[in-house]
């Protein structure tokens, strides 16, 4: 039987409906969630991503403020601007669009953003919190994957999970978040010997490598849940994930499509983090 298709667009839409209610409740208390987006330089892909985030904010009622800064900006100027935004009560989330120009010290940028406004979840405090269970904001893409699994009533506890990809923004936090939910997790990366030896054991396989067709049917177990985080542009301009969707969907029990699976959830979780930040700030202000 072909796999059930996990519809990320449907869950994103349902969650965004709930956000409107939360934003109205904040509005009644005189609070509008505010997101500052810093776009440095003129990378066209970054401009597209920022455009999507701004549009998604507007659709639910989050005030977003995009600041386009020149690629030539100095570290000191950029850090200074972040410090100002940290102190601005109208701003609940600060997002610095990655990648940054080579001369910018990314680690310092991410650590300068207040952990309380770090809606991307990249600050060391929030990264460390993934290990200890005290994170304020989880990184949006893996957080979206967890929400998809919950929405589909896919059990995580005690399951064998294999995460293919070990980046700081997807693979590693994904593994930690699933471990925190009592899965048994293996992490694979480019130097893993015999990837299939691991993937075949997975009850839940999460793939975030950025390699088209990396996962083919022989590599998965019958009935596995397959989450494809990959977004790859093919020479013909089409978008594809890391999984051979046609083949794998004949063997998996559930699978995310690309596009329409994990992608819509990433921006949705950014909205969730921003609203939650406004709710936290308001609750602190009241006490
Ligand atoms: P990244 O920083 O390039 O990391 C890729 C990871 O995959 C690395 O850990 C790398 O291993 C591993 N890898 C590469 N080739 C591999 C192979 N042949 N076998 C096993 N592992 C391999 O990428 P990323 O930022 O994590 O993104 C991964 C993919 O997800 C990309 O396609 C990206 O566009 C997509 N993405 C999607 C969303 C979304 O919203 N859907 C969000 C973010 C990213 P090493 O560590 O050994 O180099």
The domains spanning 32-114 and 140-263 adopt the same CATH topology: yes
Q: Are 66 and 53 in contact (CB under 8 A)?
A: no
- Mean pLDDT throughout 225-247? 97
189-235 residue pLDDT tens: 999 999 999 999 999 999 999 999 999 999 999 999 999 999 999 99
**Confidence class for position 286, pLDDT limits 50, 70, 90:** confident
From residue 99, give the alpha-carbon distance in Å to each of 37, 40, 41, 169: 13, 9, 10, 12
Q: Which of 7, 116, 120, 228 is catalytic?
A: 120
For ligand 1, the distance from its centroid to the CA atom of residue 119, given in whole angstroms, is 21
Does the domain at residues 140-263 carry the CATH identifier 3.40.50.720? yes
Specify the CATH number of the domain 32-114. Answer: 3.40.50.10860
120 catalytic? Reply is: yes
Q: How far apart are CA 97 and CA 273, in angstroms?
A: 16
pLDDT at 287 over 80: no
Q: Pocket around ligand 1: residues whose beta carbon is below 6 Å from it? A: 141, 164-167, 169-171, 188-192, 195, 208-211, 214, 229-232, 262-263, 266
42 catalytic? Reply is: no
Hey, whose CA ends up nearest to atom 5 of ligand 1?
A: 209
Q: How far apart are CA 51 and CA 202, in angstroms?
A: 36
Residue appearing with tokens 């978008």: 239
Q: What is the CB neighbour count within 10 angstroms for residue 276?
A: 17
Domain ranges of the chain: 32-114, 140-263
Q: Which of 47, 58, 138, 62 has the alpha carbon at shortest distance from 99?
A: 47
């Amino acid at each position: 039987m072909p796999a059930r298709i996990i519809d990320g667009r449907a869950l994103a839409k349902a969650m965004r409906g709930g956000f409107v209610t939360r934003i109205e409740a904040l509005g009644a208390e005189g609070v509008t969630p505010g997101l500052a987006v810093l776009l440095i330089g003129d990378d066209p892909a970054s401009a597209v991503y920022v455009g999507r985030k701004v549009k998604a904010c507007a659709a639910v009622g989050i005030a977003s403020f995009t600041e386009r800064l020149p690629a030539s900006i100095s570290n000191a100027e950029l850090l200074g601007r972040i410090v100002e935004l940290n102190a601005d009560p109208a701003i609940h989330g600060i997002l610095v669009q990655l990648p940054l120009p080579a001369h910018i010290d990314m680690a310092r940028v991410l650590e300068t953003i207040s952990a309380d406004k770090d809606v991307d979840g990249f600050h060391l405090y929030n990264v460390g919190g993934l290990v200890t269970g005290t994170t304020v904001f989880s990184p949006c893409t893996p957080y979206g994957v967890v929400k998809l699994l919950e929405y589909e009533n896919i059990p995580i506890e005690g399951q064998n999970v294999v995460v293919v990809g070990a980046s700081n923004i997807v693979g590693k936090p994904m593994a930690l978040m699933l471990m925190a939910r009592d899965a048994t997790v293996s992490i694979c990366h480019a130097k893993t010997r015999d990837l299939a030896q691991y993937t075949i054991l997975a009850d839940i396989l999460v793939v975030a490598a950025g390699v088209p067709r990396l996962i083919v049917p022989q590599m998965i177990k019958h009935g596995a849940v397959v989450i494809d985080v990959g977004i790859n542009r093919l020479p013909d301009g089409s978008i594809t994930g890391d999984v051979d969707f046609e083949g794998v969907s004949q063997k998996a029990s559930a699978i995310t499509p690309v596009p329409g699976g994990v992608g819509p959830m990433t921006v949705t979780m950014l909205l969730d983090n921003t609203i939650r930040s406004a709710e936290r700030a308001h609750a602190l202000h009241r006490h």
